[in-house]
């Protein structure tokens, strides 16, 4: 009997490689400082003529090729992003157009860096009811919303996109369980203050730098270190598994030093921590699918192994997915 499975993965990062020295120059920090604080050594930033949809479409093509699925077979396209091409229409419709997937419903999901997990949960539910194939993409171009002089943020982020194709199949990787959490009372920890209906973008907001991404880094770290381990323990219990069963941990690539701390506290004794941030930095909603794709293409996953996926970030939001490969 067929059920919703992961049929293929794909990723795309821009060609431009940005060193730590270049990224940190205006903020007055160098390679040694950035590497010590984040374990990031370089990142990719989009070219001037590239928008989020361009990166998303490229990752989508790679995932479709991996899955052996054509664009005209897609019933749904979802893009998880907090850096859309425009406030409207959804970035997903530009991806639909570029891929030639005219029959697909297309919409965006914004759960910031947890967006890919939220999108996967939504799409799995849609396909369980309607059938067909779906393309789920996490894509962000954070380089466009960073304050070059803010050392707390400008050194952390890169641009990229990752994608998964979901559809019916009798065997193959599948989502066994998903859990989503939001903590709206902490929404001010990560935000872009201007540009929406609360504070429309104008000359005054631009002069004040309110169109830039802002983050209370220390508070975010406390949130992740305090919340992720107990929520993960609860998630594994609800999924009917135990930490010893997990063979792979694929987290949002927020900061390498933070990931080491979180991984130690999760106590997953047989799991491998997968990282792509050394070369790509934090790519927002793209970081989970980029890392999944890198591990899958490297042959790291084997049939039957359990993968714990964790997204966390603005909202504040946390999303977990348990994948049986």
% of the chain beyond a pLDDT of 90: 98
- Of 170, 197, 222, the residue at which a domain comes to its end is 170
Measured distance CA(63)–CA(279) in Å, rounded: 21
- Of 119, 153, 170, the residue at which a domain comes to its end is 170
Determine contact, residues 139/52, Cβ cutoff 8 Å.
yes
Report the pLDDT value the prediction gives residue 248, as an integer from 0 to 100.
Answer: 98
Q: Are residues 129 and 249 in the same domain?
A: no
Report the pLDDT value the prediction gives residue 52, as an integer from 0 to 100.
Answer: 98
CB burial of 280-315 (b: ≥16 within 10 Å; e: otherwise) equals bbbbbbbbbbbbbbbbbeeebbeeebbbbbbbbbbb
pLDDT tens for the 325 residues of the chain, in order: 468 999 999 999 999 999 999 999 999 999 999 999 999 999 999 999 999 999 999 999 999 999 999 999 999 999 999 999 999 999 999 999 999 999 999 999 999 999 999 999 999 999 988 999 999 999 999 999 999 999 999 999 999 999 999 999 999 999 999 999 999 999 999 999 999 999 999 999 999 999 999 999 999 999 999 999 999 999 999 999 999 999 999 999 999 999 999 999 999 999 999 999 999 999 999 999 999 999 999 999 999 999 999 999 999 999 999 999 9
Q: Are residues 212 and 269 in the same domain?
A: yes
Report the pLDDT value the prediction gives residue 241, as an integer from 0 to 100.
Answer: 96
**Domain limits for position 93:** 3-170
Report the pLDDT value the prediction gives residue 314, as an integer from 0 to 100.
Answer: 96
Cβ-Cβ contacts under 8 Å for 319 (sequence gap 6 or more): 111, 114, 116, 117, 118, 121, 178, 179, 180, 181, 310, 311, 312
183: domain CATH number is: 3.40.47.10
Nearest CA among 29, 58, 324 for reference residue 175:
324
Tokens 């900061």 correspond to 255
Q: Are residues 210 and 190 in the same domain?
A: yes
Q: Are residues 138 and 29 in the same domain?
A: yes
The Cβ of residue 237 has, within 10 Å, a number of other Cβ atoms equal to 10
* Count of structural domains within the chain: 2
Q: Are residues 184 and 160 in the same domain?
A: no
Known catalytic residues? 113, 252, 282
Q: Are residues 119 and 202 in the same domain?
A: no
Report the pLDDT value the prediction gives residue 2, as an integer from 0 to 100.
Answer: 67
Q: What's the N-to-C CA distance of the chain in angstroms? A: 17
């Amino acid at each position: 009997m067929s059920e919703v499975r992961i049929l293929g993965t794909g990723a795309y990062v821009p060609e431009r490689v940005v060193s730590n020295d270049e990224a940190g120059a205006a903020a007055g920090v160098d390679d040694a400082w950035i590497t010590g604080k984040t374990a990031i050594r370089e990142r990719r930033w989009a070219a001037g003529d590239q928008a989020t949809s361009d990166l998303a479409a490229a990752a989508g093509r790679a995932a479709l090729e991996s899955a052996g699925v054509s664009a005209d077979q897609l019933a749904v396209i979802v893009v998880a992003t907090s850096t859309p091409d425009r406030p409207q229409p959804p970035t997903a419709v530009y991806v639909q157009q570029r891929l030639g997937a005219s029959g697909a419903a297309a919409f965006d999901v914004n759960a910031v860096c947890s967006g890919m997990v939220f999108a996967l949960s939504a799409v799995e539910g849609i396909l369980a009811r309607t059938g067909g194939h779906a393309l789920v993409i996490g894509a962000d171009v954070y380089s466009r919303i960073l304050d070059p002089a803010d050392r707390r943020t400008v050194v952390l982020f890169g641009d990229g996109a990752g994608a998964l194709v979901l559809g019916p199949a009798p065997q193959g990787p599948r989502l066994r369980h998903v859990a989503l959490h939001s903590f709206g009372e902490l929404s001010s920890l990560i935000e872009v203050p201007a540009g929406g209906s609360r504070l429309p973008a104008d000359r005054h907001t631009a002069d004040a730098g309110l169109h830039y991404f802002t983050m209370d880094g220390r508070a975010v770290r406390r949130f992740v270190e305090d919340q992720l381990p107990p929520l993960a323990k609860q998630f594994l219990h609800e999924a009917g598994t135990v930490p010893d069963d997990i063979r792979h941990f694929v987290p949002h690539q927020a900061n390498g030093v933070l990931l080491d701390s979180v991984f130690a506290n999760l106590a997953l004794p047989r799991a491998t921590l997968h990282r792509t941030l050394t070369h790509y930095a934090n790519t927002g909603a793209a970081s989970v699918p980029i890392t999944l794709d890198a591990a899958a293409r490297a042959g790291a996953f084997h049939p039957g192994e359990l993968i714990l996926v964790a997204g966390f970030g603005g909202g504040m939001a946390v999303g977990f997915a348990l994948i049986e490969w």
